[in-house]
């Protein structure tokens, strides 16, 4: 599998903390470059170029980053976005060494058509979208392809152990993990039962709650303690959930207590 080459140009930056908001207004994204035995560097990358490369490369393709002190090979480790606008706020880049093994997560893509879906009206169920692997940077695949032709009946399933893995790549995910399978079509009785259950368990939606939370986030620390990413930023890394800042709620509670004390005194 031949990996496409991607290139980004980065500039050094001195601005950190909340002042990076001005950089974002100017159309650049603050980033941090780090790696094994590498001192973290604060950089900026043009937002449009970073968005373009990340859409194609994701987190599983090597990127050549051009800097004033020389080119470096990196992986885009994490992107933080504004949860309301989707705008890129911050990025972490990992500098790789070509002779040092790395751990990475690569996407799993399906190919072809399942006979159980085509002929038996089955429902394709995907249970695993990414695969954890270890390899040298030069052996890093951009994706893993799953051939759906093996799913001929409802009893068939494709597990991690069944995947075709390129030479030099070690699979770190559990071998017995189910990747994709086909379920029988649902009967009318099952569909009606699910619909009734959804109606019974539906909870009323509280208007304005999401907007109120969205206004509370403030900028916190970036990467290795740089201090310029947003607390309410949405990360593309599924394992890194950001907790909303509840300082606004505490302030309201404190104000209420103060008013109660004042009324008692009066």
pLDDT of 234: 63
Q: Which is nearest to 249 in space by CA: 204, 206, 209, 203? A: 209
Strands 28-35 and 38-46: antiparallel
What ranges do the domains of the chain cover?
6-187+219-246
Taking the mean position of all CA atoms in its chain, how far away is CA 113? 28
Cα(56)–Cα(51) distance, integer angstroms: 9
Dist. CA 24–CA 50, nearest whole Å: 13
Give the strand pairing for 102-111 and 144-147.
parallel
For residue 150, with 0-12 CB atoms within 10 Å meaning exposed, 13-18 middle and 19 or more buried, which class applies? middle
Q: For the chain, give the number of residues.
A: 266
The CATH number of domain 6-187+219-246, selected from 3.10.20.30, 3.40.50.720, 2.40.440.10, 2.170.120.20: 2.170.120.20
User: In angstroms, rounded to a whole number, what is the distance separating the alpha carbons of residues 65 and 166?
Assistant: 26
Residue-wise pLDDT for 45-80, tens only, equals 999 999 999 999 888 889 999 998 899 999 999 999
pLDDT at 198: 77
Is the CB of residue 117 less than 8 Å from the CB of residue 123?
A: yes
Percent of the chain clearing pLDDT 90 (strictly above): 59
At 238 the pLDDT is 44
Q: Residue 7: CA atoms inside 13 Å, Cβ hemisphere, count?
A: 4
pLDDT tens string 225-246: 444 555 556 666 544 443 344 4
Rounded to a whole number of angstroms, the distance between the first and last alpha carbons of the chain is 79
Q: Is 195 helix (H, G, I), strand (E, B) or coil?
A: helix
pLDDT in tens, 169-203: 999 999 999 999 999 998 888 778 878 887 766 55
Could you tell me the two tokens for 29? 């994204």
Q: Residue 123: pLDDT above 60? A: yes
pLDDT of residue 196: 83
Q: Are 123 and 151 in contact, with CB atoms under 8 Å apart? A: no
User: Which strands, in side-by-side order, build the sheet including 178-183?
Assistant: 123-126, 178-183, 157-159
What's the pLDDT band for 262 if we cut at 50, 70, 90? very low
Query: Which has more confidence, 91 or 264?
Result: 91
List C-alpha distances in Å: 57 to 76, 142, 250, 263.
8, 8, 42, 61
Q: Hey, what's the torsion of the CAs at 16, 22, 28, 30, to 10 degrees?
A: 20
Cα dihedral 125, 80, 136, 130 in deg (nearest 10): 0
SS3 category, 166: coil
The whole-model pTM stands at: 0.65
| Nearest alpha carbon to residue 3 among 185, 244, 166 | 166
């Amino acid at each position: 599998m031949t990996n496409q080459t991607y290139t980004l140009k980065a500039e050094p930056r001195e601005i950190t903390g909340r002042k990076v908001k001005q950089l974002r207004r100017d159309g650049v994204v603050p980033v941090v470059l780090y790696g094994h035995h590498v001192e973290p560097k604060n950089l900026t990358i043009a937002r449009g170029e970073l968005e373009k490369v990340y859409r194609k490369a994701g987190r599983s393709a090597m990127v050549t980053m051009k800097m004033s002190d020389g080119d470096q090979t990196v992986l885009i480790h994490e992107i933080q976005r504004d949860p309301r606008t989707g705008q890129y706020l911050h990025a972490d880049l990992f500098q790789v060494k070509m002779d040092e093994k790395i751990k990475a997560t690569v996407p799993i893509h399906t190919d072809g058509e399942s006979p159980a879906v085509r002929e038996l009206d089955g429902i394709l169920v995907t249970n695993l979208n990414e695969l954890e692997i270890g390899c040298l940077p030069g052996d890093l695949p951009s994706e893993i392809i799953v051939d759906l032709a093996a799913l001929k009946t409802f009893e068939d399933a494709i597990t991690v152990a069944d995947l075709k893995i390129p030479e030099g790549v070690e699979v770190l995910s559990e071998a017995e993990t189910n990747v994709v399978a086909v379920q029988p079509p649902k009967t009318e009785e099952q569909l009606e039962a699910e619909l009734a259950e959804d109606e019974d368990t539906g909870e009323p939606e509280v208007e304005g709650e999401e907007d109120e939370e969205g206004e509370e986030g403030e900028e916190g620390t970036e990467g290795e303690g740089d201090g310029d990413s947003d607390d309410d930023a949405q990360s593309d890394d599924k394992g890194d959930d950001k907790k909303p800042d509840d300082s606004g709620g505490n302030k309201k509670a404190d104000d209420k207590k103060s008013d109660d004390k004042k009324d008692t005194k009066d």
